[in-house]
Amino acid sequence: MFDLLRDEFRTEKNAEIFIIDPYFTSDDFNFLINAFGQYGESYTFHIITKYEFIKGKAKAKLPFMKTKVDKQTVINETLKISKNITRGGIFKEINLYHSTFRMHDRYLFMNKEKNNNKFFVLGASLNQLFENYSYIIRTTDNHFKNIILSYTKKLLENVKKNH
């Protein structure tokens, strides 16, 4: 799975990669490093999430959440980890967006020009890929890509200003 994404993006320089995942966690940085780290020093990531992992059993997966913490603490920890990754030179930049717009489906894409874009539909959140049944599907349908771009615009129009 990592090889698929690595091969798709390996030749891209200064790529801007968008990830839409309502359940993005600090653990997902490991996924990004494994999938993109070898060639990613010029990559900028735009991660749009809702920090929904605070709910339920998912709390136990986060090492810094040994006791009950609020959403803002988790957001701050995720921001801190992202800054450490960019300071280390693994990626050029990581931007985290806390959208308040309704979100369910997950996507990963790079949209540079009409003929140079890559869109993937994720069957599960990054932290759950291939734990049970899930998938990564590349889509080439322009109508579907435009829908994803419109959805992304709505998500970004509804970002909490303090992140």
Tens-place pLDDT, residues 66-98: 556 677 877 888 899 999 999 999 999 999 999
The answer to whether 123 and 137 have CB atoms below 8 angstroms apart is yes
How far is residue 161's CA from residue 97's CA, in Å, rounded to a whole number?
9
- Tell me: pLDDT of 10 over 80: no
Dihedral sign, Cα of residue 150, residue 53, residue 85, residue 41 = negative
Q: What are phi and psi of 145, to 5 degrees?
A: -60, -40
- Residues 13-54 pLDDT 10s: 778 889 888 888 777 888 888 888 887 888 899 999 988 765
Identify the residue with better confidence: 6 or 32: 32
The answer to whether 93 and 44 have CB atoms below 8 angstroms apart is yes
- Residues 131-159 pLDDT 10s: 666 667 788 888 988 888 899 999 999 99
